[in-house]
A = this chain, B = another copy of it.
Amino acid sequence: MDHSIDVIELEMAILVRRLVSMTTYRKIGNLDRSAYLLLHQIASHGSAGVKALSDEFHLDISTVSRQAAALEQKGYVKRIPDPVDGRAYSLEMTDMGEEVLNENKQARQESIGKMLSAWSDGERVIFGELLRKFNAAIHEEIPE
């Protein structure tokens, strides 16, 4: 009876396989998946430290630390020392970071737009909403 769960479970497995393959190896633009997401998060939710970012993405703090170092080294973010906490930094987008992020976002959107060119507007809207809802559900479900 819960056939839909069955379908979702399978399609999720396939989806992740394809998305990983697309975004990790045949890179869209010149940002890898992690870098893209970090920049995206900083751009949309404002500057943040390594700890906050690793919480947000459920990644180990060491992983984000390296990703952040890579972004800084490429000049896409700069590191601002926290004025009240000597241990902490905050990663702030640079102009170059903005630029690169936008280029990439556009490339990704075009790629998705092409895939969904045969869809109706309604389908796209609903799909977007359900995806968002699903992501929120995962967020809640993941154990701290």
* Residues of A bordering B, CB below 8 Å: 2, 4-23, 33-34, 36-37, 40, 57-59, 105, 108-109, 111-116, 118-119, 121, 123-135, 137-142
Contacts and interface: CB of A to CB of B under 8 A. Distances in A.
A119 to B, nearest CB: 7
A70 to B, nearest CB: 16
A126 B126 contact: yes
B19 A12 contact: yes
Given A6-B109, A127-B127, 7 more contacts: A9-B105, A13-B33, A13-B40, A14-B37, A18-B138, A115-B134, A126-B130
B58 A9 contact: no
Contact of A4 (B13, B57, B59, B128): B128
A134 B112 CA distance: 10
Contact of A20 (B16, B130, B132): B16
Nearest to A23: B16
Contacts of A129: 7
A116 B5 contact: yes
B131 A8 contact: yes
